[in-house]
Structure 1
Amino acid sequence: MKTINSISSSKKFDKGHVFYRFEDKQFYINNLMRFIKNGLESKQCILIIENMRALPLIKATIDKKFSHKQKESIRLVNNFDYYLANGDFHTKTILTHFQEDLSILKMKNTMIRTWAHVEWASEKPDILLLEEFESTADNFVEEEGIVSVCAYAADSLSSTLDTTLQQLHQYIMTDDNLFISPLYNG
């Protein structure tokens, strides 16, 4: 398993599909802020898809750490609109919202990076739906040549789902490491 260190500290890391299995909320926020900082340093726009519980803290942290001009390159959206608005994890709805948000950022004529906190309403997620979504996302990330992080709370993942996500992402990230997925089927 080749460790790349941390996505947040690796400036050379500018494209790829990342499965982030997070355990600690503070590490999560710190990694997100470094992800944003590195994107801004690379003159990229950043799309953050986050849950409504974390959005106020993330917005406050962004307000503290970044200038008004930098904040113009950051788009924060509620992940409810993506993952839950049209029933539990409806792939077509997710992709429609994603394309709409990306088209807004693309008008700035710059590269884009994305970070999405992926959630679902049901006790047990439909692995086939997640697989369909992540496979489509993987193809999109490859075609567009962007970096895209899909963050999942570790305590919400079964071992089967964890394995499936490792197969559908080029990279795996934890709170303190980033490495190439040994199971990736891309």
Structure 2
Amino acid sequence: MKEKIGNLLSENQCTHILYSYHDRNRYLENAVAYVLEGIEKGDSVVLIENERNLNVLFKQLNNHLTSDQLKKIHVISNYDFYQSSGSYHPPAIYEQLTKSITPFLENDIPFRSWTNVEWGTLEDPASIIEWFEEETDRAIHEYDLTIVCAYESVKMPDHLEDALKKSHGHIMTDEDIVISKVYSSTN
């Protein structure tokens, strides 16, 4: 998978990737591959992730990266990121995204982002998440960003996954990454 991610990113400087994952171990392997590929390329990485996964990821990353390279990984708790307003509120989340990436943009620091999207107890977040992902897609094209938005497939209703494929240029699974056939750029 690391080779596929590297090939995709060498061909596309700007892309929005929907990752619907089934297997947590494969998810973690793919996250490590994405981070390592970014660091090797000279990018910083904004890693928006839950605490449980961060512990595992950093155990693996510590085996591959120097202390200087590890400093290029900027961690944000996904709980804090998505619940910054006290609930899953897209405008507040979008503001949090903007706040998180502005230092990189203002200082011309190349970066990529990996985001584990979780919405807690919200019963059907489809319309809220769709709005946020469309706004994120606009920002990706405005600033030439590369962002992976990872969703655990068993927690994602089919109608949400179908809608998200329209706002992500690439679709990733635990084993593959392909161009979305239904993507419509919001740019």
Structure 2 counterpart of 1:31, one-letter code: N
TM-score by length of 2: 0.89
Structure-1 residue corresponding to 2:70: 71
Structure-2 residue corresponding to 1:20: 19
Unaligned segments of structure 1, at least 5 residues: none
Structure-2 residue corresponding to 1:113: 112
Structure scoring higher RCO (CA < 8 A, sep ≥ 6) equals 1
Q: Secondary structure at the match of 1:54?
A: helix
| CA-atom RMSD in angstroms | 1.8
Alignment of 1:145-160 (within 5 A): 145-160=144-159
CA contact (8 A) 1:19 1:166 kept: yes
CA contact (8 A) 1:7 1:173 kept: no
Residues 123 and 97 of structure 1: CA distance in aligned 2, closer, same or farther (over 3 Å): closer
Q: Deviations over 1:48-76 (max 9, x none)?
A: 00012212112222222211111121111
Q: Deviations over 1:100-146 (max 9, x none)?
A: 22134446532110010001022523211111100000011111112
Deviation >6 Å, runs of 4+? none
Instruction: Give the whole-Å Cα distance in 1 for the aligned partners of 2:62 and 2:108.
Output: 24
Structure 2 counterpart of 1:170, one-letter code: G
Unaligned segments of structure 2, at least 5 residues: none
Structure-1 residue corresponding to 2:34: 35
Instruction: Give the whole-Å Cα distance in 2 for the aligned partners of 1:162 and 1:43.
Output: 32
Residues 148 and 11 of structure 1: CA distance in aligned 2, closer, same or farther (over 3 Å): closer
Alignment of 1:1-186 (within 5 A): 6-7=4-5, 10=8, 12=10, 13-106=12-105, 109-186=108-185
Single out whichever of 127-136 and 57-66 deviates more from structure 2.
Answer: 57-66
